[in-house]
Amino acid sequence: SAYIFGDDTLFRENSNLLEHLDIDIDTSLASILQRYKVFNGSKCLKLRYVSARKREERVGITMDSAEFVKSAVNLIAPTTEYFVVYHPELRDIAGAVATRRHLENVRSLYLSSSKGTLRELIQLVRLLPNMTNLACFPGSVDFGPDSVHFREYIDNHFTDYRELKHSFRRWKVLTCGAYDDNAPAAQTALAFAILCVNFDLVFVQPRHRIIFEREVKGAIDSGFYDEHVEKLQRLIRYTR
């Protein structure tokens, strides 16, 4: 629903009590939050959960993805552990996170209907070293997980990311209703397993699990990942 005030009335005197925020953002509210510095670093120090959606506005006024995502990320307080954002572009999320401080406590990130490349997704993971749980769509790439081209893609694009020393362990694969191709999911899971030291668990919808496991097994059998076989086998053993 729309924010009905023309200033920060709703947030006055209660910022230090706020623990859970579920908010619809439009251009007007984004301007108000910025003007009154409602969520600057010294406020909302009990805020643990943030969920943000872009509100549909009247004809002729549109908030673009980058502006919305920046406003959503700016809601995060030093104490925020759970961050949910709907319909983001991965490049916008990564760009906003890269310029925002006080993200060290984010443990769980839920990106509903996210769109972007595997490279953008890995970059985002890298920027949140204390994150343990991620839910999002797979990152797109042009090669299958059992292709030598995908192995070369990993080696050529992520050499500086290898063995990320952080807490990321669990990925929930989000899909749209008609989604039935798990190659992108397998690619993303392989990249996480190879690049992230502690990654060991993938949540896949039951109707997609057989295809997902087949793609991972194909990558293992290809011989392109022999030094990572133990990690990749965990993707099958611990898939939920």
Q: What is the pLDDT of residue 178?
A: 45
pLDDT: which is higher, 164 or 225: 225
pLDDT: which is higher, 197 or 163: 197
Nearest of 213, 229, 215 to residue 144 by alpha carbon? 215
Q: What is the pLDDT of residue 237?
A: 73
Q: What is the pLDDT of residue 55?
A: 87
Over the stretch 214-225, which tens digit does the pLDDT of each residue have? 989 999 999 989
Q: Where are the beta strands (DSSP E) in the chain?
A: 20-25, 49-54, 82-86, 108-112, 133-136, 170-173, 201-203
* Confidence tier at 59 by pLDDT (50, 70, 90): low
Nearest of 200, 187, 191 to residue 155 by alpha carbon? 191
CB 182 within 8 A of CB 175: no
* Confidence tier at 177 by pLDDT (50, 70, 90): very low
pLDDT higher than 50, residue 144: yes
Q: What is the pLDDT of residue 58?
A: 67
